[in-house]
Amino acid sequence: MTASDQNRFQVELRGLIDLLSQHLYSGPHVFVRELLQNGVDAIQARRQIEPQHEGLIEIEVITSAESDPTIIFQDNGVGLTEDEVHQFLATIGQSSKRGEMTSRPEDFLGQFGIGLLSCFTVSDEIVVLTRSAKGDNQPGIEWRGSTDGTYSVRKLTQAIPVGTQIFLQPSTGYEDYFEPQKVLKLAREYGSLLQPKITVTSNGQTDVVNAKAPWHQDTTNPQVRENLLAYGTEVFERNFLDVFPLHSTSGGVTGVAYVLSEAVHAGSRQPHRVYLKDMLLSTKTHEVLPEWAFFVQCVVNASQLRPTASRESFYEDTVLERTRQELGDCLRRYLVEMAQTQPRRFEQLIAVHHLAVKALAVDDDECLELFADWLPFQTSLGTMTLAEFRKQNSVIRYVPSCDQFRQIAQVAASESLAVINAGYVYDVDILTRLSMIRSDFKLEEFDAEQLSDRFEQLSQSEREETLEFERLADMTLQRFKCAVEIAKFLPSDLPSLYVTDANADFIRSVEQAQDVTEGVWNDMLGDLTRDVPSSYARLYLNYSNPLIKRICQLGQSDGQRRSVEMVYIQALLLGHFPLKKSEVKLLNEGLLGLLDWAVGGQDNE
């Protein structure tokens, strides 16, 4: 063999079919989609020759108790000549939509030249009868292809209509895909919104597949709106609050978006029903809307987006990116218009989807300015909108984490102090941004230590009565880097309040991590706190609480010490602080110690 010798790759058809069925396509059912695609494209090609041609696709399922079922798929499209049969049906990857057969490839659904091969995922043999519309007296051609990689071509002596007929019988194990109701369901799923008339016939009954596309309907008409909501419930199997139109010039996208009737979390991604040139592409596409639009599901039709080879998703390119942005703008305009013209309706929507509105507003100052006062926040005095909160408070006090809020919520509520829980996603960013764009928006991060300024101080006699106990309690919790102070505060049924600052929180988190590490990692964690200023947490014991009073007046120091340890643990648990290893040990020992002390006390009596 010389260096100039040329050879051709060999393709093993069965291996290629396995690749298509197991890796490219989502399942064997796509053969119906591929046949519909070829039929529609053939009709489009014939219209270039005969502009007034009325297309028709007929699917017939023949069943018999004596033999396997047969699907006959027939279109009255452009058909193929004998040369085209050899070129397009016997050459893998060759597509008539890319050749000279058409001057407008954008009019066609297919472009990869592997569609007919999908039939081999359900059938061992494909029989094609075709007659070309190009020229007069074109003969009919029969093409038979097999999964073993062989095919035959012959001219037909009998006349057949212009167009193409495809005959399939099921491979072993794929009979279900040839059941009449299954074929009808798949034809409706993929082709109900296509323009040529499509029928499915079996056992003497003919069903028309076509239906009216939702993107061609007027959503401002009340009856149409109700019909569209019913359609959305049918295809997505859930209820919706509203429906509105979508449009994108970049991707040639039109459609409708449905507003979910229930709240969903920010990380959720809703599956959308997406069509490409009226053919169903996917019912599980996520990439057509921006991430913040997790409160809607849409049905859209694209004419300019590029499908992947599997035809079940779109290529992630600049056109799709622009389309996503333009569809996001549609959602934004929908919300803005509703807020401006239908405030009561917008209030109902935001009550369910405030998280999605926050996700939009956090990066859009115009929307933030418009929507801010509608946004609900959890506060120490109950949930209220920002407008309601500002009406009652000139300063917007907040804590940046849910744990901090849990620590102070009861006491703040008893003191009639309004504090926002900004520990949920987007809340801190929204409040901070508002303080920058609104001159009258006074924002203040609330420190739990500030609550102590509102506590009632002990009287002189009470101070003298509790001085020794406070000293004992303080010494008891020294090893946990926690100082103790006795004060009076509400609610009186809360025995204690545990508060920390940022440094104490950081040191505590490092110590927790050290509990589960050893060796060099433990040392490295210790180094993290070397330059952090030493800081103690503080445990406030509530002298208005009957239990704390009894502990103070208890005459035995051992019982007081055990009680303080348990009150400390309870305060940590109420504040949702994870216990360190030493505190878990204290909990176990403290319970046993209290039991031992109590039993010993009974014996002494």
The answer to whether 184 touches 201, Cβ cutoff 8 Å, is no
Q: What angle do CA 308, 309, 311 make, to 5 degrees?
A: 65
The answer to whether the annotation marks 421 as part of a ligand binding site is no
The answer to whether the annotation marks 75 as part of a ligand binding site is yes
Q: DSSP for 263-307, please give it.
A: ---TT----EEEEETTEEEEEEE-TTS-TT-TTEEEEEEESSPPB
Please list, residue by residue across 456-465, b when 16 or more beta carbons sit within 10 angstroms of its beta carbon and e when fewer do.
Answer: eebeeeeeeb
Residue 83's nearest CA partner among 159, 7, 139, 42 is 139
Residue 379's nearest CA partner among 423, 328, 349 is 423
Token pair, residue 306, equals: 């590029």
Task: Give the separation between CA 314 and CA 89, rounded to whole angstroms.
Answer: 26
CA dihedral in degrees (39, 40, 43, 44; nearest 10)?
-140
User: 3-state SS of the chain: helix, strand, coil percent to 5?
Assistant: 45, 20, 35
Instruction: Quote the crossing angle between the two packed helices 318-341 and 343-361, to the nearest 10°.
Output: 140
CA distances (Å), 158 to each of 5, 161, 208, 266, 592, in order? Answer: 45, 10, 30, 64, 99
Strands of 494-580 (E only): list them.
496-499, 537-542
Strands 395-399 and 442-445: parallel
Task: Give the separation between CA 560 and CA 517, rounded to whole angstroms.
Answer: 34
Alpha helices in 109-179 (DSSP H): none
The answer to whether 339 touches 370, Cβ cutoff 8 Å, is yes
Q: What angle do CA 367, 372, 373 make, to 5 degrees?
A: 135
Q: What are phi and psi of 254, to 5 degrees?
A: -130, 155
Alpha helices in 50-133 (DSSP H): 82-84
Token pair, residue 351, equals: 């009550």
The answer to whether the annotation marks 38 as part of a ligand binding site is yes
The answer to whether the annotation marks 34 as part of a ligand binding site is yes
Task: Give the separation between CA 601 and CA 605, rounded to whole angstroms.
Answer: 6
Token pair, residue 590, equals: 């403290």
The answer to whether 410 touches 571, Cβ cutoff 8 Å, is no
Question: Is 407 exposed, middle or buried (CB count within 10 Å of its CB: 0-12, 13-18, 19+)?
Answer: buried
Task: Give the residue numbers of the binding site for ATP.
Answer: 34, 38, 75, 164
Task: Give the residue numbers of the binding site.
Answer: 34, 38, 75, 164
